[in-house]
Amino acid sequence: MRLFAGKTISLPLAALACVLALGTPQAEAQTIFDMLFGGNRTRGEPLGTSRRNDHQNVFRSDRQRRQQEEQRKVAPRKNVVRAAPAKISAPSYYTYKADALRRVDFSSLAAIGQSASLDPASASEFREAVSGLVGYELFAETEAGKAIIDYYTANPDFIWVSGNDINDRGREALRVLGEAPSYGLPAVDYGLAVPSSTGAALDEVSREQELIRFEMALSARVLRYISDATNGRVIPDRISGYYDLPRKPIDFVAELKALAASADVRSLLESRHPQSAEYRALRVELEALRATTENSIVVDQSLVVKPGGQDPEFSNLLRIIARDLDDEMGGEYGELLAQRVNSEEYTDDLVPVIKAAQTKAGLRPDGVVGPRTVGALAGNSRADRIDKVVVALEQMRWLPHELGETRVFINQPEYNARFIENGQEKLNMRVVVGKPSNQTSFFYDEIEQIDYNPYWGVPQSIIVNEMLPRLRGDPGYLDRAGYEVTDASGRRISSSSINWGAYGSKVPFNVRQTPSEANALGELKILFPNKHAIYMHDTPQKALFDRETRAFSHGCVRLKDPRGMAAAVLGTSIDHVEAKLKQGHSSEKTPKIPVYVAYFTAWPDKNGKVGYFDDIYGRDDRLSAAFEKTDEVRAPSS
């Protein structure tokens, strides 16, 4: 035992006190004290961590205190600058604003009616009719209105009218606009006053005015339809920063030229919609839902029944499963369900049916019927399903209309990723996506690279929001936990040497976790560089894939079968991936493959059967609110 500062202490502590007296850096002293003493310990840290200030007076001698007091008299202590705690905010949701409609200014067309020309008879009729636009109020989207003036100035002739009536092209365009609801688009957006089939009741001047105004109105509505079919009614990036979906360019003047020259207006207009199999499947589902009555089968949401149990509500659930059978389940269980559909007893032969239905709904197939199973199989009313399909159709218009024969498609509400090759689904796996506070964005990009045994470059948001509060009191944490800290020039720095308290929302250091079994990215990551810093990767937290709800990440997409996905996008074998993993940290370029990090609460499987999923981020409601804002703006459009 040794005597120190008037206290009798053990040798290790005496040695420690001597080290401190010789000037060990303060941050290192803190780490040592934390290891020796308990106290303010974060859950999961080794026992013995503590704050230095709770014990340092025990080891401070009277001589040391007197020396420090003398130093203060000679040189006043400098103030330690500490930044206020800060956070990096996640993308936000906005109050949606739809573009206002503008009155189309027809004044520049007046000169057309006064110019002399040897135009064909129809053009002459157009020139004579232009005066009927005086005083006409037509409201349209800004680009559409400008295109109408530009087109008719350069091409002074009717598109939709011939002689004294609507022509075949115009009638076909009206029919297509009237079918807009089959695409999930509201018919009222494309409605307009149509001239009577005969002008006998009107004098010649009134008829000319009626037809020229109809010509302009139909052009405006057709251009709106083309815009909506191409890009959707809503601009998603105005809903939230979580959306990153560029608008497809449209040459509206060229569209009018194409319509004027086309002998098949229907095909031209319908070609402006997405052409994927998924879009077609959603349209078929919408038609089927609208043709049926409201669900007549109701299941008590509190139903709980296990194999061997019995409940009158169980037969209702069986009837719903029988009603919604697809070809795959129908072929295997259709006959059994036909025989047992009214059974109130949950017999052993029905367990595979329930498990298959649970799997189909994206649930864990445990064979136990509970509220989640009931909600997934019977929880969506007809009206709810229609709303989800309408939303899904709109969202499909935000994406490229040809998704690509080979692609990766991630559907966040489904917690699922698919690899499609040459139009055929080759891989289907569970994923973990961002938690509601760290939502995964909705965007698309191209896969470019695979990193084996990767480093994890910690995003600034995690450094500031989650690491910095801990580092303020425990600056050596990153050193102990296997992270590397570098400055802006790439120079390695000890975490314990940094005054983390001096930084708020801007930390001038990079932090990365070295490859290991504990690395947050697991054994590999699949990169498609994007501004959201989102990618697909492995995870050491394998148990999360067994859960039905899998929103746990900071925004990236964790894969249940990362080796399988890596092999798929490389066009190689699992053996190749395993061999690369044995070689340590490395990277490998992939063919550029489209990847869609999407958000659909209604989505078809490979057989075209539409599944319905929980709106985990509440985005459907926000899109519905944007629809309402668009409706308000378009209401006075004619």
Residue 110 and residue 29 in one domain? no
Element (H, E) at 528: none
Show the DSSP H helices in 413-537 as ranges. Answer: 460-462, 468-473, 477-480
Dihedral sign for Cα 140, 146, 148, 153, please.
positive
- Residue 82 pLDDT grade (very low, low, confident, very high; cuts 50, 70, 90): confident
- Of 258, 278, 298, the position where a domain reaches its end is 278
Task: Let me know: does 152 contact 128? Beta carbons within 8 Å.
Answer: no
**Residue-level pLDDT at 326:** 80
**Residue-level pLDDT at 11:** 37
C-alpha distances in Å from residue 184, one per residue of 273, 282, 386, 443, 608 = 12, 9, 9, 22, 18
* Count of structural domains within the chain: 4
Residue 252 and residue 337 in one domain? no
> CA–CA separation, 235 vs 633, rounded Å?
14
Residue 375 lies in a domain: yes
Residue 387 lies in a domain: no
Which of the two residues, 332 and 80, has the higher pLDDT score? 332
Quick: pLDDT tens for 515-527. Answer: 988 899 999 999 9
Residue 415 lies in a domain: yes
Residue 39 and residue 172 in one domain? no
Residue 50 lies in a domain: yes
Residue 112 and residue 67 in one domain? no
How many helices (H) and strands (E) in the chain? Answer: 22, 22
Whether the pLDDT of residue 440 is over 60: the answer is yes
**Residue-level pLDDT at 106:** 94
Which of the two residues, 433 and 56, has the higher pLDDT score? 433
Quick: pLDDT tens for 278-294. Answer: 999 999 999 999 998 76
Q: Give me the residue label for tokens 């994923």.
A: 431
- Residue 484 pLDDT grade (very low, low, confident, very high; cuts 50, 70, 90): very high
Residue 532 and residue 442 in one domain? yes
Residue 526 and residue 438 in one domain? yes
**Residue-level pLDDT at 478:** 94
Residue 214 lies in a domain: yes
CA atoms within 13 A on the CB side of 256: 29
Element (H, E) at 202: none
Task: Let me know: does 507 contact 468? Beta carbons within 8 Å.
Answer: yes
Residue 526 lies in a domain: yes
For residue 6, what are the domain limits? Answer: 2-74
**Residue-level pLDDT at 115:** 57
Quick: pLDDT tens for 238-271. Answer: 999 999 999 999 999 999 999 999 999 999 999 9
Whether the pLDDT of residue 2 is over 60: the answer is no
Residue 386 lies in a domain: no
- Of 333, 351, 380, the position where a domain reaches its end is 380
- How confident is the model over 32-38, as a mean pLDDT? 31
Residue 204 and residue 152 in one domain? yes
Residue 362 lies in a domain: yes
- How confident is the model over 31-37, as a mean pLDDT? 31
Residue 342 and residue 435 in one domain? no
Q: Which 3 state secondary structure label does DSSP give 402? A: coil
Residue 138 and residue 64 in one domain? no
- Most confident listed range (45-49, 441-445, 493-497): 441-445
Whether the pLDDT of residue 202 is over 70: the answer is no
Whether the pLDDT of residue 385 is over 50: the answer is yes
- Of 263, 278, 293, the position where a domain reaches its end is 278
Residue 7 and residue 112 in one domain? no
Residue 419 and residue 555 in one domain? yes
Quick: pLDDT tens for 158-178. Answer: 999 998 899 999 999 999 999
Quick: pLDDT tens for 316-368. Answer: 999 988 888 887 788 888 889 899 889 999 999 999 999 999 888 878 899 99
Whether the pLDDT of residue 598 is over 90: the answer is yes
Q: Average pLDDT over the chain, rounded to whole?
A: 85
Question: How large a percentage of the chain has pLDDT more than 70?
Answer: 83
**Which residue in 308, 310, 309 sits closest to 348, CA to CA?**
308
Residue 257 and residue 160 in one domain? yes
Q: Which 3 state secondary structure label does DSSP give 481? A: coil
| Bridge partners, residue 3, by sequence | 8
Report pTM.
Answer: 0.79
Element (H, E) at 261: helix 252-261
Whether the pLDDT of residue 39 is over 90: the answer is no
